[in-house]
Amino acid sequence: MVEKEEGGPGGISEEEAAQYDRQIRLWGLEAQKRLRASRVLLVGMKGLGAEVAKNLILAGVKALTMLDHERVSQEDTRAQFLIPVGSLGRNRAEASLERAQNLNPMVDVKADPESVESKSEDFFTQFDAVCLTCCSRDVMVRIDQICHRNSIKFFTGDVFGYHGYMFADLGEHEFVEEKPKVAKVNPGVEDGPDTKKAKVDSSETTMVKKHVGFCQLKEALEVNWRAEKAKTALKRTTPDYFLLQVLLKFRTDNGRDPSPPRFAEDSELLLQIRHDVLDALGVSTEILPEEFVSYCFSEMAPVCAVVGGVLGQEVVKALSQRDPPHNNFFFFDGIKGNGIVERLGPG
């Protein structure tokens, strides 16, 4: 039984203890307290944004601000389950607010209809974590730099058709990990060749403090693939990293993502961008076969669910300081049905 505590950021009420009972049992009261004291900014309320919002609200952050200056389109109605019927033309964040708040009344959910590009550095410093979707490469890099300077946990992610990714920059991050207890056997107590070996007791665990450092997004996107070390790593680097580079360049050049109504036109653009981007990186176009253009249009709801689940989980882990985080990319391939964590960049 958790005693009710009034006031003070470290307290947790009986009502909250009941609401988050399963989570407290899973990752502990201290982790839930840290999560409960955290404020998160979520930018971009398309399908992926809706999944991340749902996961963070149900997990029990203190406050979530959903920021999006775009209007609800017909395409949004396919994967964005927080937007009610009849919302075409409304602001996406404001249209998502009521359903998002109803998921968990204990979380303070707000909608901000302004553009993220209009926000000053001071705006971001009120948050413990910032998660971007639907943003240009330049915006992602700029906001990551702001977060890095101010020790704010930074995340970004997107879904393009059957493909999705997330990236995390947690700066210098400390966390605890639960490990099986290792019991050292005293020499001479037992006989046999294994006498001096440590024994692992899976029934008992201990919490181990750990530290990990992250690089910034700009560094992770600007790997010098002509360097000898990078050439060696290239063989085991997922093609999805290079697909992301192509799609971000498409977004920069066109101010939008590949669109199904413009499939033929956008497919040609993607192939040209693939050639230009990979040539500039010093990488053969063979690493990204031409058929990729058939699988990166629109948001697929199941892919949003998977990537949103991972992205939401990583935000929760970072804020609760519990369990090892993904460092630094996660890529999901919906065609193959698998995901992979890649650490790219310095460090």
pLDDT of residue 3: 34
Spatial contact of 129 and 41, defined as CB atoms under 8 Å apart: yes
The verdict on 52 and 65 lying in the same domain is: yes
The verdict on 19 and 148 lying in the same domain is: yes
The verdict on 244 and 186 lying in the same domain is: no
The verdict on 187 and 150 lying in the same domain is: no
The verdict on 191 and 86 lying in the same domain is: no
pLDDT of residue 188: 53
Cβ contacts of residue 12 below 8 Å, gap of 6+?
Answer: 2, 5, 29, 32, 33, 36
Containing domain of residue 167, as a range? 14-171+301-342
Residue 8 forms part of a structural domain:
no
pLDDT of residue 200: 59
Residue 83 forms part of a structural domain:
yes
pLDDT tens for each residue of the chain, 347 residues long: 233 333 333 467 777 777 777 777 777 788 889 999 999 999 999 999 999 999 999 999 999 999 999 999 998 888 899 999 999 999 999 999 999 999 999 999 999 999 999 999 999 999 999 999 999 999 999 999 999 999 999 999 999 999 999 999 999 999 988 888 776 655 555 555 555 555 655 567 788 899 999 999 999 999 999 888 888 889 899 999 999 999 999 999 999 999 999 999 999 999 999 999 999 999 999 999 999 999 999 999 999 999 999 999 999 999 999 999 999 999 999 999 999 999 999 86
The verdict on 28 and 159 lying in the same domain is: yes
The verdict on 131 and 31 lying in the same domain is: yes
Residue 6 forms part of a structural domain:
no
The verdict on 166 and 184 lying in the same domain is: no
The verdict on 235 and 285 lying in the same domain is: yes
Q: What phi and psi, each to the nearest 5 degrees, are found at residue 98?
A: -60, -50
Q: Which of 22, 18, 103 is nearest to 66 (CA)?
A: 103
Q: Which of 341, 312, 267 is nearest to 54 (CA)?
A: 312
Provide the domain count of the chain.
3
Residue 1 forms part of a structural domain:
no
The verdict on 248 and 282 lying in the same domain is: yes
The verdict on 42 and 177 lying in the same domain is: no
The verdict on 56 and 158 lying in the same domain is: yes
